[in-house]
Structure 1
Amino acid sequence: MRQTLVIANWKLNGNTALLKTMAEHFHHVDIQEQVDVVICPPAVYLKTAAVLFEPTGIKLGGQNCSEHGSGAFTGEISAEMLSDIGCSYVIIGHSERRAIFAESNEMIAGKIKQAQKGKLCPVLCVGETLAEREANDVESVIREQLETALVDADFDNLVIAYEPVWAIGTGKTATPEQAQEVHKMIRDWVAKKAPESAQKIQILYGGSVKADNASTLFHQADIDGGLIGGASLDTEQFDAICKAAKDI
């Protein structure tokens, strides 16, 4: 059985007060044996988070890393730096990075390589826009994202997150059946590339997951948890999502 995984992506949100509130809450909540939980605050808060969350067993992740290991790249953060301050995961290829910061599949492949070299587990985000879905291009778009980004990847140290771009921050959510269909397609693709990893790899859903839809989504056969955006900024709602994952 695959362990359920819930990742909080705070994006450009949060502060020290929220970290303290959430750490205090989860200090008294025992979910770690049934579900893996990862918090990805803005990079400036990672060291503080490492101290606050250490008693909870919750792991830390970066929201991004450089495709470079070191050098004259002002403002960049390397995978090894994230690992050095206590991160175990890093989100790579989020749709906002692709759309707003023009990250290509090739650049994302470089980041995957750096993350695994730096002993981090990359969380590769893939997904289609509304136009691509309406044109029936979902499978071809996601297959291209996977093929290019994971060309040299270690599938035993990898998480994939399916995030339909049209459902991120919009309040819209793919139906459980729509999400399951794409998750199965991704797992089938992995089975062709790395057969021994296909049934072990965690594939997450990331598209407006909330407390009231988490359980239905997580009960789908190939959905192993969620990459949570806005709802992860609300301690009670994020706790409810984690509990839904625990009950799978």
Structure 2
Amino acid sequence: MRPPGPVADADGPSRSSQQETVRPVLLGASLKLYLDVDASVAWATSLAEIARAHPAVVAGDVRLFILPSLPALDRVITAVAGSPISVGAQDLFWAERGAYTGAVSGADLARLGCRYVEVGHAERRHVFGEDDAIIRRKLAAAVRNGLTPVLCVGEETQQEADLAGETCIAQIESAIADADDLDDLVVAYEPEWAIGQAEPAAPEHVTAVVAQLRSHLARRGLAGAAVIYGGSAKPGLLSTLSSGVDGLFLGRFAHEPQAFASIIDEAVGTHREGEEP
């Protein structure tokens, strides 16, 4: 993975020198197609101001990434330049060049300044007909172009955590099968039955599923992968989750900058243990 340098404490040694490694909290937000270009830029500008002023974000204890719509990418990247916010895309195509009308090249996304790209979201599966084979090719394209995949996994219907974990592990294995030299990955656990609902999945369910995913990733040599939760994630959720959950993948609840700011504040009080992603 690509960990940052040590984070120094004001009155002690760097965290990398402590016996226990503290993982940074990772907060991501997707705008989907809710905001137009101008509104996306205004949102990103407000968020950049919040990030520049927040000590935990500046120190790297809380990391932020945002995924605007594709037409807004260039202007959003400019709006957050110089701030501790990374930008990514909500989609990419599996090939860099060719006769693919309307496709988006991972090479072009990287050249624009994207670090992340979302792959495998339930809406891509159900609305656009993407299957496991397409998701596998897209994730490989992300890795090939130096982009960090934000791989969305999750069960369709509400079920026991053990079964949900098995479903998600199968989705992970399918998605990464063709990715050569995979060394940077974010897994977003998003149970489909919780997406767009008033409430997220229960904290104990999220914690149990994420524990299974973390254990599997460690066995696959991907212990440094970040595992975050999405699916109606909102303020007040992060503090109820175990330290094994690295952060949140936010949707509509982050479209108000002050709500996002409150989640950053909440993240400061959480404790994530293990290898840094």
Q: Distance in 1 between matches of 2:45 and 2:63?
A: 20
Q: TM-score, normalised by structure 2?
A: 0.82
Please provide the CA RMSD for this pair: 1.8
Q: TM-score, normalised by structure 1?
A: 0.91
Q: Distance in 2 between matches of 1:12 and 1:119?
A: 25
Q: Distance in 2 between matches of 1:57 and 1:221?
A: 23
Q: 1:178: how far off?
A: 0.5
Q: Distance in 1 between matches of 2:237 and 2:214?
A: 22
Aligned ranges 1:34-73 → 2 under 5 Å: 34-73=61-100
Q: Distance in 2 between matches of 1:242 and 1:77?
A: 31
Unaligned residue ranges in structure 1 (runs of 5+): none
Q: Distance in 2 between matches of 1:62 and 1:232?
A: 17
Contact 2:137 2:178 in 1 (8 A): no
Q: Which moved more, 1:203-212 or 1:137-146?
A: 137-146
**Alignment correspondent of 1:213:** 237
Does residue 80 (structure 1) correspond to residue 82 (structure 2)? The answer is no
Does residue 234 (structure 1) correspond to residue 256 (structure 2)? The answer is yes
How many residues of Structure 1 are paired with residues of Structure 2 in the alignment? 242
In structure 1, give the amino acid aligned to 2:173: E
Residue among 47, 54, 66 paired with 1:22:
47
Q: Distance in 1 between matches of 2:145 and 2:264?
A: 28
Q: Deviations along 1:102-152, whole A, 9 cap, x unmatched?
A: 111111111111101111100100001125x27974233222211211113
Moved over 4 A (4+): none
Residue among 199, 219, 226 paired with 1:202:
226
Q: Distance in 2 between matches of 1:26 and 1:180?
A: 27
Residue among 217, 223, 228 paired with 1:190:
217
Does residue 166 (structure 1) correspond to residue 190 (structure 2)? The answer is no
Does residue 140 (structure 1) correspond to residue 166 (structure 2)? The answer is yes
Does residue 11 (structure 1) correspond to residue 32 (structure 2)? The answer is yes
Cα 1:135–1:116 change in 2 (3 A) is closer
The structure that has the greater radius of gyration is 2
**Alignment correspondent of 1:225:** 247
Does residue 151 (structure 1) correspond to residue 180 (structure 2)? The answer is no
Q: 1:246: how far off?
A: 2.8
Q: Distance in 1 between matches of 2:93 and 2:269?
A: 36
Q: Deviations along 1:30-61, whole A, 9 cap, x unmatched?
A: 32321110011101111111111112221101
Identity of aligned residues (%): 34
In structure 2, give the amino acid aligned to 1:202: A
Contact 1:2 1:201 in 2 (8 A): no
In structure 2, give the amino acid aligned to 1:8: A
Q: 1:21: how far off?
A: 3.2
Cα 1:212–1:139 change in 2 (3 A) is closer
In structure 2, give the amino acid aligned to 1:77: V
Q: Distance in 1 between matches of 2:93 and 2:73?
A: 16
SS at match of 1:6: strand
**Alignment correspondent of 2:274:** none
